[in-house]
Chain A
């Protein structure tokens, strides 16, 4: 199967069941909301090393935000609900509560509630107070610029992490250009994030390593410098650069749609193939077939 001149490899992305939450951050200005959003999503590229994966989903206009101020929507994912609750508390406490003028709200209507504001309130040292509106409880924590307002609990829901596409190009420049086009198109979609820097990862990994202490190591089959060194390489002649885009989403459908849109946007001159990363199908709960995604168009 091809998109224009780019071959779509008949393979699948192996994705995992994760738990996700949506955090809405508002502030006096878009800049302050974005500052908090960038901070809370920092060091959150992969659960392997960061305990969670996070990214900015979209900006929210003042008219559409919970408190009529400009906001940013952030998605955070972890491997289980309990762990996600801890990450939310750590990250909101350190990255949002600290940011001037911000407030922080649950952005999911459904799911399992985990207590976040109800824990962070203790920072108020007894001076905190709560308000209940329309069965929604939030906390007012006194801080030096006034009050930090936060929902008592945030919903978490079963989600999908690790959807991905691999872009195999003739050189780094062409591959970067294709990856950028793909991430731009994918970011316009709801319910997903691309947790890696600017949405793209170059250090794709495989499970395990020759070093016993490591649980993951470089995906040697896709490293162009190792072609001819390793027994098996996935790279044909003329492929000299590979970039991966990882997608986490609140639903399988959202991840699939992002992959489909991403493949179409990445299929540019200079891109020989588009493939996907998997672990042989033994690890992930979801196998997203590339040909099926495109066949549905």
Chain B
């Protein structure tokens, strides 16, 4: 039986709830969980001041209510599953290393920053800095998967080093900025300055994109590795046109202001 947290009072200011994590709940009973400390602004309060707790923790946590102002859910989690039935605030899944977070609504900025492993699925849209590194950090996402079925905003995958980010809709500007490695797939359109400063890694889109002058066109070809990604995308519910399996894709290499070992692959079959 899953443990259910139902938001009963909207916080006036963002509520920091990094305790909502299977790692914190695993050895606690329901009353101990209800008494866990959260920060309402700069005030320490109990989790139960905002959430009704029910059920029993068996590895799964269900969070109900409009959690747009609830921050840090699933931070540093390493196992289990959190289902957020609605929207969620910033820093969800920060530095998580395992387990799964499912968000049925939208996610605010900083979704899965510096993530190490595990999986985050957002059925709606997500904000800025998905899978990014924190400001001043050299390394962002280092593993795992972030799947956003809707749109994302700017700087998705900033300084990303490993892992996979899938965006079902459009992405904003600076997708994959300063990317070190890893894979970003955008099924919609990307904003400007895609891959700026990227060293390695792959940014893939089904649509044309504006390419920085520091990128060079390598070739049109059929990258067989993409077939694995498309197979996976189909398996998780994305609607993929069969024609994309055979390409061709235009390969742009860059960013030449850095190592020039990154790539942007744009579907050229249209």
Cβ < 8 Å to A, chain B residues 73-92: none
CB atoms of B228 and A146 under 8 A apart:
no
Q: Is residue A273 within 8 Å, beta carbon to beta carbon, of the partner chain? A: no
Count of chain A residues with Cβ under 8 Å from any Cβ of B? 16
CB atoms of B232 and A149 under 8 A apart:
no
B201 to chain A, nearest CB (A): 9
1/0 per residue, CB under 8 A from B, across A276-291: the answer is 0000000000000000
Distance in angstroms between the alpha carbons of A48 and B231 in the assembled complex: 42
Contacting residues, chain A, for B183 (C-beta < 8 A): 131
Distance in angstroms between the alpha carbons of A64 and B230 in the assembled complex: 14
B166 to chain A, nearest CB (A): 11
Q: Is residue B164 within 8 Å, beta carbon to beta carbon, of the partner chain? A: yes
CB atoms of B232 and A67 under 8 A apart:
no
Distance in angstroms between the alpha carbons of A133 and B202 in the assembled complex: 13
Chain B, interface size: which category? 10 to 19
Q: Is residue B50 within 8 Å, beta carbon to beta carbon, of the partner chain? A: no
Contacting residues, chain A, for B223 (C-beta < 8 A): 140, 146-147
Q: Is the interface of A mostly helix, strand, loop or mixed?
A: strand
Contacting residues, chain B, for A68 (C-beta < 8 A): 227, 230-231, 245
Q: Is residue B229 within 8 Å, beta carbon to beta carbon, of the partner chain? A: yes
Residue of B219, B225, B261 touching A149 (CB-CB under 8 A): B225
Residue of A67, A132, A147 touching B162 (CB-CB under 8 A): A132
Q: Is residue A296 within 8 Å, beta carbon to beta carbon, of the partner chain? A: no
What are 20 A-B contacts defined by CB distance under 8 Å?
A: A26-B224, A67-B224, A67-B231, A68-B227, A68-B230, A68-B245, A69-B227, A129-B200, A131-B183, A131-B228, A133-B232, A138-B228, A140-B225, A146-B219, A146-B221, A146-B222, A146-B224, A147-B224, A147-B225, A149-B225
Binding site for A on B (CB under 8 A): 162, 164, 183, 200, 202, 219, 221-225, 227-232, 245, 261
Binding site for B on A (CB under 8 A): 26, 66-69, 103, 129, 131-134, 138, 140, 146-147, 149
